[in-house]
Amino acid sequence: MVVVLALVSALLYGLSDFVGGLVSRRVSAWPAAVVGQLSSTVCTAAVALFLTGDPTPAHLAWGALAGVGAGTGTAFLYRGLSSGRMGVVAPVSAVGAAIVPVAVGALGGERPGALMWLGIVLAIPAIWLISTVPGGPVDPVEKERGSLAEGLVDGVLAGLGFGGLFAALGQVPDSAGLWPLALAQACSVLAVIGLALALRKQWVPRGRGLVWAAITGPLGASATLAFLLATQHGFLTLAGVLASFYPAATVLLAVAVLGERIHRSQGIGLALAAVTVTLVSLS
């Protein structure tokens, strides 16, 4: 069950990032992130009203921490994608999102079997290869839009944010219901606004183009819910790695919708991902 739920989470995160990436190229990344996370909050809270649970203050605290991670990850991912350095931001953020929950799960005493560890180890290069966009010469426009160092910083911060989201949600049991998740989404909105203010960026949503950003809300909320359920049915180390395959969904959507082609490195990464899923399914 944990494998299925984590892969569903990856699929939905990938779809959300695909839509969010398109929107953030047309409007500012910060308003797009605010609208997306606010939409996620509304969707999660609506579902939480109909599901019983008994969250403790500790569960709510973990939810709030997860929200800070979600907001940080979303904001810097959108900023990086809109800067023209997708080939740097995407792989760095995806690998970071995988490594953090693996480290937290291992330190927390999780002991996966040998096959599962082999799958986890293979997943790291798979995620990197899938996320990598082979680049040619950088044109003057891209040089103006974002440097390599800026893309690397955005990728690291996004990866730490998403990894923190995964690790914190892994501490919320099923008895807590969905209110910790709703709180996480609400805190993610505040985190995005706080970062925008600190960096002196315009975050107030304006313009019709942001309507599309609202679509990412239900997708992101469903993805996070699937991940939460995955951690409640199995190891955080496993759920974190499989959910971090979200770039695979983004790549496949770009092929199907935008007519982009899969590069050799991405093909190798997808093959390694298939091996990873097979190994952890057999363990």
Every domain of the chain and the residues it spans? 2-282
Task: Identify the CA nearest to 162 among candidates 257, 82, 71.
Answer: 71
Q: Give the rounded distance of the alpha carbon of 250 from its chain centre.
A: 11
Nearest one of 232, 225, 189, 169 to 13, comparing CA atoms: 225
- 3-class state of residue 140 by DSSP: helix
Which residues of the chain are under the pLDDT cut of 50? Answer: 136-146
* Contact (CB, 8 A) for 98 and 163: yes
Check residue 141 and give its pLDDT.
45
Reported as a single tens digit per residue, the pLDDT across 105-156 is: 888 888 878 888 888 888 889 888 887 766 543 444 444 444 666 778 888 8
**Structural tokens at position 278:** 């097979």
pLDDT computed for residue 65 by the predictor: 95
**Eight-class DSSP state of 139:** P
Tally of CB atoms within 10 A around 133 = 17
Buried b (16+ CB within 10 A) or exposed e, 51-85: eebebeeebbbbbbbbbbbbbbbbbbbbbbbbbbb
- Does the pTM surpass 0.85? The reply is no
Reduce the secondary structure of 32-97 to three states and give it as a string.
HHHHHHHHHHHHHHHHHCCCCCCCCHHHHHHHHHHHHHHHHHHHHHHHHHHCCCHHHHHHHHHHHH
In eight-state DSSP terms, residue 213 is G
Report the pLDDT value the prediction gives residue 227, as an integer from 0 to 100: 92
* CA-CA-CA-CA dihedral for 164, 21, 221, 58, to nearest 10: 20
Identify the helix (H) or strand (E) that includes residue 17: helix 2-26
235/245 Cα distance (integer angstroms): 16
- At residue 283, the pLDDT reads 64
Q: What is the pLDDT of residue 142?
A: 46
